[in-house]
Amino acid sequence: MLILGIESSCDDAAAAVLETATPGKAVVRSSVVANQEIVHKRFGGVVPELASRYHVRTISPVIEAALEIAGCSLSDIDGIAVTRGPGLVGSLLVGLMCAKGLAQTLDRPLVGVNHIEGHVLAPLLEHEVAIPYLALVVSGGHSAIFLTEDFGKYRRLGSTRDDAAGEAFDKVAKMMGLGYPGGRVIDELARTGDRKKFNFPRAKVRGNGFDMSFSGIKTAVALTLGRCGNGNAPAPSDLAASFQEAVVDMLLKPTMEAARRYGVKTIALTGGVAANSRLRERLTAEAENEGFRVIAPSLKYCTDNAAMIALAGSYRLLKGERDADDIDAQAALSL
């Protein structure tokens, strides 16, 4: 079965072609992403209106490129999977309307996919993974821990109570004058910094022990920068390293506790922040020290992409399912 995946939940327009015959196992024939970093950089973050307008311009060329690289045409496609949420509603609608038009014109089944489900299943694009497994999804808009019990069956064990870890990276980078997106720059700076220079607080969330919070760490960095004025600014590398270490601590503690409690053998690290070298290093070391296997997608499948969307929709398409023509975008769709 050839599946066309379409993703446009935020500022990346993406299309991919997957070939599959078995749920969770697929060959990526193509994966194309049109990035908008240059558009949003001067604003220090994604501007929703601009994101959707640029999607209108790029979604068709991206799909055409994915088909060309895959060596097929639209008539060869057996089904279409498209992100329907969560995300920026204007951006979501561009991809969804395009997918609907193609599905109706070609008379092919269409399924709407939860963007987070795409991230949860993304490691399966490159790894053999036994189910159940634990997935730590960390991105600019999401930070959550899921127990993957089966395809289409996920239990959210914990999530951020306020800001996502990726948002904290971007906001702290903006405070430090490092530009947007901030995750990459902070990761690079932190390599030469002193992780113990600043003792930033690690949030402890009452109630659910697997929940997280990243709003406080942003305030702590802002206060530190405020106290270090008048020519006494801290070394950017030390500030970046100390901040990053605190965020990694707050991600690892609930993840390891969940892995122990639910007795999984594999922990999957996924989402845009999964590209962070320190998070990968520490999770791998701590988890493997306790007998857990750690897997993570390659960097191209950590950030938003359509291959993971096609994979997430494949198990439903393989069963002959399809969504109704009136399927709509949902900005706050839960998994």
Q: Is the pLDDT of residue 204 over 70?
A: yes
What does the alpha-carbon distance between residue 90 and residue 297 come to, in Å, rounded to a whole number?
28
70-106 pLDDT, tens digit per residue, is 999 999 999 999 999 999 999 999 999 999 999 999 9
Least confident of 29-33, 45-49, 112-116: 45-49
145 in helix, strand or coil?
Answer: strand
Could you give phi then psi for residue 71, rounded to 5 degrees? 70, 35
What does the alpha-carbon distance between residue 163 and residue 231 come to, in Å, rounded to a whole number?
31
Q: Is the pLDDT of residue 170 over 80?
A: yes
- Going by pLDDT thresholds of 50, 70 and 90, the confidence category of residue 285 is very high
What does the alpha-carbon distance between residue 136 and residue 268 come to, in Å, rounded to a whole number?
6
Mean pLDDT for the chain? 93
Largest CA distance in the chain: 66
What does the alpha-carbon distance between residue 11 and residue 7 come to, in Å, rounded to a whole number?
10
CA dihedral 276, 279, 282, 284 (to 10 degrees): -80
Q: Do domains 2-121+303-318 and 129-296 have the same CATH topology?
A: yes
98-118 pLDDT, tens digit per residue, is 999 999 999 999 999 999 999
- Looking at CATH, the fold of the domain delimited by 2-121+303-318 is given as Nucleotidyltransferase; domain 5 (3.30.420)
Residue 231: the pLDDT is 60
- Going by pLDDT thresholds of 50, 70 and 90, the confidence category of residue 37 is confident
Going from N- to C-terminal start, the domains of the chain cover: 2-121+303-318, 129-296
Q: Is the pLDDT of residue 286 over 90?
A: yes
Q: Is the pLDDT of residue 209 over 90?
A: no
What does the alpha-carbon distance between residue 221 and residue 104 come to, in Å, rounded to a whole number?
51
Q: Supply 60's token pair.
A: 């068709």
Q: Is the pLDDT of residue 225 over 70?
A: yes
CA–CA distances in Å: residue 158 to residues 143, 149, 250: 9, 15, 12
Least confident of 39-43, 101-105, 169-173, 301-305: 39-43
Per the DSSP assignment, residues forming a β-bridge with 114 are: 85
Per the DSSP assignment, residues forming a β-bridge with 25 are: 22
Average pLDDT value for residue range 36-41: 83
- Going by pLDDT thresholds of 50, 70 and 90, the confidence category of residue 229 is low
pTM: 0.92
CATH numeric code, 129-296: 3.30.420.40
